[in-house]
A and B are shown apart, each in its own frame.
Chain A
């Protein structure tokens, strides 16, 4: 009797889990269809991949929603070359294997172009597949160098090394910063930080910037920065370049303050978020520069409009990833129009046209650059970074 009860319970629980599987399986598809807009006849099928669950979910969900906004705008405006866009986004949980599965799912759906993936490691895995299929791929936010190693792949964001050289260029071109003695503190145990550090140092020596101190730490010893700060202070540095994430940066600001050392702090996109550390004394961050492609507080019409729509849709302010994705959709639109691409062409023909077109266009009026964006054949964007300065606990565009 006991056994029978147990097996009945097992059967019931299995049935429930099958149903649950159905529910989670069909929900995104239903969303995708609802999102795809009216497809009377032919339409472009654009896919997106990124983490919408798991630890990196904040990045993927912002990309998904920002792309939706761009697609809706374009469809309402008559589409691309008169064709509507059908759009579908798949979750990869920031996992390379799941990203490849998501890619296959989208291919079965009939995807013609891929905007993705959002994070670097899955992006590298998927780029192997798009290379095989000769499918056009534009990643909004994969920063690792290898994300665009093949000629069918492009990126919208800066690569890691690019941020370093762009920072050096900005410092050299800014009247109040260019004569500074520079100290660097970086994390030698992560690729992101060392990549930016190496290119910054290389570019700085080309521009003959005065780097007086160069010290590091590792993720395992990221609490005590007094020695690094003291070395910078002893070397007479009045600008401290921090190509690191904001958690460590917040500690560096506190420790510098308690030793009475007040240089100009200069960070990159990893610094974005420092004002969000709980219980952090934000007055310490006053005057901190950070180089980031997007500022949600910028006052130009495009940004204001985008932030407003995004907030209505999701309830929060978009991060840089969302802005990258929004620009990526418009980049695809611009190239399709320039090359007269039609959805009836094969995936491979579309890819060839897009590859050619990407290197020829100049994309103006974008969120993630104050001027315009052009692309090299290697897939790297050329754009000007925006420098943001923290004033009264808010990010403000620097002059």
Chain B
């Protein structure tokens, strides 16, 4: 039983990372209706900013995260303005999707150029060791607990922001009907830019936690967690903010337990078959809204 619990806790710590990345994915999808495949790479850039300010400049971890969040926000707004906005409306959603993949490769190669392919060992931003249960047999790492708490705070803050503020309500309006929102006097472009700014700022926080848990930073660090988080967002219901949280945790637990009890070689296959099964059986995910097609 204790044995099972250990793997379960490992799953939660992996899942909490997926959850916080999935929050960024789902937020942008829910409002701008586009899959930002470059999200994982924004996380990577954020991690490099934190690494540079913490290790090279010797700044305080919290201050480094603030700098990274600011940097990522600027990066998010700039990519949105340069790469996505000109395609909005005119081109099909496929064009935007492919552009996002292009931005993803662009960021990876820029990072390769600037930071080289040599891996860098990240120093954890969390200095707390965590708690030991059952006489030290069951250890929950500090970074896991901090990640879960952070995801919950982010979740609540986003929900409050969307439900209670004018800007948040504007986002909901834009996500439901861009044309009608514009007629009501909402600045659609500004609202979408704001969405990207928030999503990218979240990416910096996700980067700090991802690299604290798995402290090996390369230009490809964000790619795979980004894609797994996308699966988590789909599992929870893409566009739904609580869904991203639940999807992320579930995915982490499934991955960890299938590695232990089925096969280490098959665990990725299992994770991605979940994506296929969800899309076949319940395309809207666990908490997704059912959209009625009007004929």
Interface residues of A (CB under 8 A from B): 55, 188, 215-218, 220-221, 223-224, 226-228, 230-231, 234, 247-248, 250-251, 254, 258-260, 276-281
Stretch from B68-76, B93-101, B191-199, B210-218 contacting the other chain: B210-218
Given A260-B139, A279-B122, A279-B123, CB of A247 within 8 Å of CB of B268? no
Among B7, B216, B268, contact of A227 (Cβ-Cβ < 8 Å): B7
Indicate if the CB atoms of A224 and B6 lie closer than 8 Å.
no
**Interface 0/1 of B90-134, CB less than 8 Å to A:** 000000000000000000000000000111111100000000000
B268–A223 CB distance below 8 A: no
Contact B10 A250 (CB under 8 A): no
CA A276 to CA B122, docked complex, whole Å: 14
Known: A221-B268, A231-B260. Contact between A226 and B122, CB under 8 A?
no
Q: A216-B264, A216-B265, A279-B123 are in contact. Are A254 and B224 (CB under 8 A)?
A: no
| Any A CB within 8 A of the CB of B165 | no
Binary per-residue interface labels of chain B (219-243) against chain A in the complex, 1 for a CB within 8 Å, 0 otherwise = 0010011000000000000000000
Chain A residue, CB-CB nearest to B122: A279
B273-291 CB contact bits vs A (8 Å, 1 = yes)?
Answer: 0000000000000000000
The reply to whether A228 and B139 contact each other, CB–CB distance below 8 Å, is no
- How far does the Cβ of B113 sit from chain A's closest Cβ, in whole Å? 13
Determine how close the nearest CB of chain A comes to the CB of B214; give it in whole angstroms: 4
Q: Contact between A230 and B10 (Cβ–Cβ < 8 Å)?
A: yes
Name the interface size band of chain B: 20 to 34
Which residues of A are found within 8 Å of B3, using beta-carbon distances? 234
A320, B183: Cα distance in complex, Å: 69
Query: Is the beta-carbon distance between A250 and B265 smaller than 8 angstroms?
Result: no
Q: Are A280 and B141 in contact (CB under 8 A)?
A: no
List of A residues within 8 angstroms of B267 by Cβ: 221
Is B264's CB under 8 angstroms from A223's CB? no
Minimum C-beta distance from A18 to chain B (A): 29
Q: Are B264 and A277 in contact (CB under 8 A)?
A: no
Contact of B259 with A227 in the complex, beta carbons under 8 Å: yes
Q: Is the CB of B10 within 8 A of A226?
A: yes
Cα–Cα, bound, A280→B136 (Å): 27
Q: Are B225 and A223 in contact (CB under 8 A)?
A: yes
| Closest CB in chain A relative to B193 CB, distance in Å | 32
Contact of B216 among A231, A250, A258 (CB under 8 A): A250
Query: Which residues of A lie under 8 Å from residue B214 when comparing CB positions?
Result: 223-224, 251
CB interface residues, B 161-203, toward A, < 8 Å: none
**Contact yes or no, A277 B259, CB < 8 A:** no
Pick 12 A–B contacts, CB within 8 A, sort by A.
A55-B117, A215-B264, A223-B225, A224-B10, A224-B214, A227-B7, A228-B264, A230-B7, A251-B216, A258-B141, A277-B119, A278-B118
Please tell me if the beta carbons of A247 and B216 are within 8 angstroms of each other in the complex. Answer: yes
Whether B6 pairs with A277 at a CB distance below 8 angstroms is no
Are B139 and A259 interface neighbours, CB within 8 A?
Answer: yes
Q: How far is the CB of A259 from chain B (nearest CB, A)?
A: 6
13 further A-B contacts with Cβ under 8 Å, apart from A221-B224, A279-B122, are: A55-B117, A217-B264, A220-B224, A223-B224, A228-B264, A247-B216, A247-B218, A248-B216, A250-B121, A251-B215, A258-B141, A259-B139, A276-B118
A218 to B264, CA, bound (A): 9
In the bound complex, CA of A279 to CA of B119 (Å): 9
Query: Most B CB atoms within 10 A — which of A226, A234, A247, A251?
Result: A226
Given A220-B224, A224-B14, verify A279-B7 contact (CB < 8 Å). no
Does residue B64 face the partner (Cβ distance < 8 Å to A)? Answer: no
- Chain A residues with Cβ under 8 A from B119's Cβ? 247, 250, 277-278
Q: Which residues of B contact A (CB under 8 A)?
A: 3, 6-7, 10, 13-14, 51, 55, 117-123, 136, 139, 141, 214-216, 218, 221, 224-225, 256, 259-260, 264-265, 267-268
Kindly report which residue of chain A lies nearest to residue B256, judged by CB atoms: A227
Contact B215–A218 (Cβ < 8 Å): no
CA separation between A280 and B268, bound complex, in Å? 28
The CA of A216 and the CA of B218, in the complex, are separated in Å by 21
Q: For A278, give its contact among B13, B120, B265 (CB under 8 Å).
A: B120
A72–chain B nearest beta-carbon distance, Å: 32
Q: How far is the CB of B134 from chain A (nearest CB, A)?
A: 14
Cβ contacts under 8 Å, B268 to chain A: 218, 220-221
A281 nearest in chain B by CB position: B121
Q: For the complex, give the distance between the alpha carbons of A254 and B218 in Å.
A: 16
CB contacts (< 8 Å) of A221 on chain B: these are: 224, 267-268
With a cutoff of 8 Å between Cβ atoms, the chain B residues found around residue A218 in the complex are 265, 268
B203 to nearest A CB, angstroms? Answer: 17
Give bound CA distance, A260 to B130, whole Å: 13
A224 to B221, CA, bound (A): 12
Rounded to whole Å, the gap between the CB of B277 and the closest CB of chain A is 19
Residue of A nearest to B142 (CB): A258
Residues of B within 8 A of A220 (CB): 224, 268
State how many angstroms separate the Cβ of A214 from the closest Cβ of chain B.
9
Q: Which of A230, A260, A281 has most chain B Cβ within 10 Å?
A: A230
Contact B10 A188 (CB under 8 A): no
Cβ-closest chain B residue relative to A282: B121
Residues in chain A near residue B122, CB distance under 8 A: 279
Partner of B6, one of A188, A228, A230: A230
Q: Which of B119, B218, B224 has the most CB of A within 10 A?
A: B119
Task: Give chain A nearest CB distance to B7 CB in angstroms.
Answer: 6
Per CB-CB distance, the 3 closest pairs between chain A and chain B, nearest first, are A280-B121, A223-B214, A227-B259
A251 to B6, CA, bound (A): 19
A248–B267 alpha-carbon span in the complex (Å): 18
Tell me how far the C-beta of B258 lies from the nearest C-beta in chain A, rounded to whole angstroms.
9
Min CB distance A275 to B, Å, is 11
Which chain A residue lies CB-closest to B17?
A: A224
Contact of B55 among A216, A250, A254, A279 (CB under 8 A): A279
Provide the bound-state CA to CA distance between A277 and B216, in Å: 9
Whole-angstrom CA separation of A248 from B216 in the bound complex: 8
